[in-house]
Structure 1
């Protein structure tokens, strides 16, 4: 089933589908990442837990499941969160016309800890937000230098950092979800749809996202 306010269309490429906003009629191609880079199954599993996390009734359980996925190598899970964030930025672009890069650059982490009364804490949140932005921009643009910068920072061995970055990314996604809902669109199961209706294509164009209109 297509997400609310959106429709899927097939493309000649076996690894991609066209996502069309039913109001603006803007369209973008969404493609699987290369399976050796980020398997679609990883994104689908993370997407399932992210959508559960958005529901307060299942939030704690979903975040626990995502934290469990960080064991060993946390990068696939963190990169899947960033891929999903990029995909939601594309959906907001389809509805509003705002450039996806600008949507990502405007991601902010609000709260009572922001302000002169807690400058050190605010610096931490700004740093984490910049990390999530970098990961999402890497997924959006397929820019190797941005991807390398994100990996170098996110792959730190500091204990607890992956869990902190994950939680921060989820909170940023919740804000983006509310913005999408305010515009009448819900990006449900984007990765799951790609997993069902496409297959890995090793000759696909570079990048998972590109405009069609």
Structure 2
């Protein structure tokens, strides 16, 4: 009898734990910070969603990120600007992580900027990401606010967008940039006349081959 009761309790606890683990994580709403002499007169939600202040993050096989528009007279202008901002934000965010990774790579392998410049490699990656995101970025959720200036009664629109893009697009851009960098290093190695220079280029090639094998992660903070 006692054993049956114990087993029942264990099963119930397991159901509760599994149920909690399967629930999506929701963020608390945030209060808009009103500027002096302005008031919020309309919004698509009763409260500003918590995702509007989220940092870029990986959600399953997608990268989620947020964009906020500037102040525009029309909703279309605000939506377009929010999408541009979202793309720029995530490109810069990934670029910063990549720059740190390339800097560590340079230090670990003793590479000089004459052999390979981490800033140039990062710039290539950002350009590649911007191109990739242009066709693959999707808006998953919108939040719109309409504000009024109390003195002039003029109104403007603010748009927030929660966007997502397949994480594979980041991985593909990262790998392509590394492959191109390795190809450039091979050419420089073949053109070099001194053995020391050839050795340095080969060392740099190995560094980027290793980086390619390690892959790129938004969570890594080496």
TM over 0.5: no
Structure showing greater Rg: 2
The structure with the largest strand share of the pair is 2
State the TM-score, normalizing by the size of structure 1: 0.26
Higher relative contact order (CA 8 A, sep 6+): 1
